[in-house]
Amino acid sequence: MRRLWLIARREMAAYGSLPSFWIALLLGPVLMLLTGLIGAYGASRTEAPAVAQTVLIRAADPALGSAVIAAIADANRRAPPQLRVLTPGQAATPDTVLVVSSKPGSALEVLAQGRPIPPMAAAQLEKELLTGLRRQALREAGASQQALDAADAVHVQVVTAKAPVRKISPGAAEQISRFAIVMLLWMNLVGALGMLLQAIVRERANRALDSLLASARSTEIIFGKLLGVGILSVVVLAAWLGAGAAIAVSRFGAAPPGLEALLLGAFTNPSTLIQAGAVYLVAFAMYGSALIGLGAVAKDLPAAQNLSRPIFGVLLLVFFVALTQMTGAVGPMPWLIWLPPFTPFAILMSPPGATPVGEVVAALVLMLATTVVIAGAASMALTETPLRLRRKRRDASANSRLRYP
């Protein structure tokens, strides 16, 4: 156990001193922050002043229509043109249609349909329209007390018609959130497995592994490397998940519903995060053992890359299966949980309560058993032990003094 920890610590020191590790560590939080910022920007963009937004005026009373056009012209004179009025004959499609109607009590309502008018432009329009109409009322009434009363009675309201909100069903939102977690684990897993493969291949190629094997058991080396690289990748994962959770509960994460908000929403549930972390560890142990075995068989990095293609191919397949589950392109595939390479992702993609706890536990046990078998094979690959040796050793046990650990 001491040797295992020594090897793990050495791996951590080796990778922890690399700048690329710190880049990977910070990449997740930066991505999360960018996601939050994109959401916040998307939300604020509806409030940002648009330049020369085209509008078409529709008014039952042409005089009111003319008043609105005049108010827009006045507003544009005071500030950079924000609205450009299209005449009915113009071929261009307007961004917004302004429907002008008078309301009981002399109130005037301008209803903006289509792209919302920037709030500043709406306020300016309201002000200019009010001023123009009051001036007109005073002029028409000869500035008497009656005229002043008439001017006070003028009210203008620019209203933006609410755009229809495309609603995402709660089920789909959950699926997107789960997919976000799965993808995060997937990215981290692929990165960590790459580190692990390099760690074993480099030492196999330059014979450093021989020094280790002369001092430690092959199983200690396998699990030591798994532990060392695993701890580092968990640190990276924790930084990513933690950053996601922090941003999700911050004001960036509180942006109006959009994809980015849905993605960040996955990080607000502590039990989901804990489950994801636990499943990640089991997945890393299984895939990691397989890669150590392949790295031990390979003579150099190109050979290792070729040998490891099937494993990364399986991981790619897992990605596409998760994608089909999220989009609903293919129906649910609950049996995937029983295929160890898919087990972790199937568990995470499965909606809460959809898979009985007993089945989840049994699938994880099956996966751990697979890990033990793979680690055993990797251990034999490290010491170049042929499979036939075990049988031979039993047969010769009576007269052989050879004992190889």
Partner 1 sequence: MLAVAAPSTLTPLRVANLAKTYGGGRGVSDVSFSVTRGSITGFIGVNGAGKSTTLKAIVGLIAPDSGVIELFGRPASFAARSRLGFLPEERGLAPRERARDAIAFHAQLKGMSREAAYRRADALLERIGLSGRARARIGELSKGNAQRVQILCAIAHDPALLILDEPFSGLDPIAQAEVQSLFSEFRSQGGAILFSTHSMVVAERLCDHVVIISDGRTAFEGAVAEATTHAPYGVYVTINDDAALLEIVQALGGEAQPFPSKMSDALRWRVLLPRTVPVPALMRALAERELAVHGFEPIQADLEGAFWTLAGQRAAA
Choose which of 386, 387, 391, 398 interacts with partner 1 (CB under 8 A).
386
Stretch that binds partner 1, among 2-10, 167-175, 255-263, 314-322 (CB under 8 A): 2-10
Q: From the centroid of its chain, how far is CA 375?
A: 33
Between strands 96-103 and 107-114, the pairing is antiparallel
Nearer to partner 1, 18 or 278 (CB): 18
Contact flag: residue 128 with partner 1 (CB under 8 A): no
The single residue listed with the structure tokens 């590790």 is 21
For position 20 contacting partner 1 by CB under 8 A, the verdict is no
Please, which residue, 153 or 389, has the CB nearer to partner 1?
389
- The smaller minimum CB distance to partner 1, of residues 91 and 398, is found at 398
> Whose Cβ is closer to partner 1: residue 78's or residue 403's?
403
With binding defined as CB under 8 A, does residue 402 bind partner 1? Answer: yes
SS3 of the chain: helix, strand, coil, percent, to 5: 70, 10, 25
The token pair that represents 18 in the structure block? 């690399």
Identity of the amino acid at 128: E
Q: Where are the beta strands (DSSP E) in 10-164?
A: 53-59, 83-86, 96-103, 107-114, 155-160
Using the minimum distance from each CB to partner 1, give the nearer residue, 343 or 379: 379
Q: Does 95 contact partner 1 by CB under 8 A?
A: no
Helix (H) or strand (E) run with residue 99 in it: strand 96-103
The residues, ordered by sequence, that sit 6+ positions from 268 with a Cβ below 8 Å of its Cβ are 245, 248, 249, 253
Comparison of 124 and 379: residue with beta carbon closer to partner 1: 379
Residue 17 touches partner 1, criterion: CB under 8 A: yes
Cβ atoms within 10 A of the Cβ of 179, count? 21
Stretch binding partner 1 (CB under 8 A), from 75-83, 145-153, 163-171, 204-212: 204-212
Q: Is 405 in the site for partner 1 (CB under 8 A)?
A: yes
Alpha-carbon gap, residue 405 to 392, rounded angstroms: 14
**Contacting residues toward partner 1, per CB under 8 A:** 2-3, 6-7, 10, 13-14, 17-18, 203, 205-217, 383-386, 389, 392, 400-405
